[in-house]
Amino acid sequence: MDILIDTLIDNIKLFPFLFVTYLCLEYIEHKTSDKTAKIIKKAGWSGPLVGSICGALPQCGFSVVAANFFAARVIGIGTLLAIFLSTSDEMLPIMISGAVSPLLITEIVLYKICCGIVFGYMVNFVWRKYKPRPQINIEELCNNENCHCETSVIKPALYHSVRIAVFLLFVTLIFNYAVSCLNVDTVTYYLQIPLLGEFISGLIGLIPNCSASVILTQLYMKNCIGIGALMSGSLVSGGVGLLVLFRVNRHIKENIMIIAILYMCGIIGGLSAQIVF
Which pLDDT score, from 0 to 100, does residue 33 have? Answer: 45
Written as one string, the DSSP assignment of the chain is -HHHHHHHHHHHHHHHHHHHHHHHHHHHHHH--HHHHHHHHHGGGGHHHHHHHHHTSSBSHHHHHHHHHHHTTSS-HHHHHHHHHH--BTHHHHHHHTT--HHHHHHHHHHHHHHHHHHHHHHHHHTTT--SS-S--HHHHHHHHT---SS-SHHHHHHHHHHHHHHHHHHHHHHHHHHHTS-HHHHHHHHTSTTHHHHHHHHHHTSSSTHHHHHHHHHHHTTSS-HHHHHHHHHH--TTHHHHHHHH---HHHHHHHHHHHHHHHHHHHHHHHHH-
Whether 249 and 70 have beta carbons less than 8 Å apart is answered as yes
Which pLDDT score, from 0 to 100, does residue 36 have? Answer: 46
Quote the mean pLDDT of the chain. 78
The tens digit of pLDDT for each residue in 59-91 reads 666 788 888 888 877 788 898 999 899 987 677
CA–CA separation, 106 and 117 (whole Å): 16
Which pLDDT score, from 0 to 100, does residue 116 have? Answer: 93
**Regions of the chain with pLDDT less than 50:** 33, 35-37, 39-40, 132-136
CA-CA-CA-CA dihedral for 13, 17, 19, 23, to nearest 10: 170
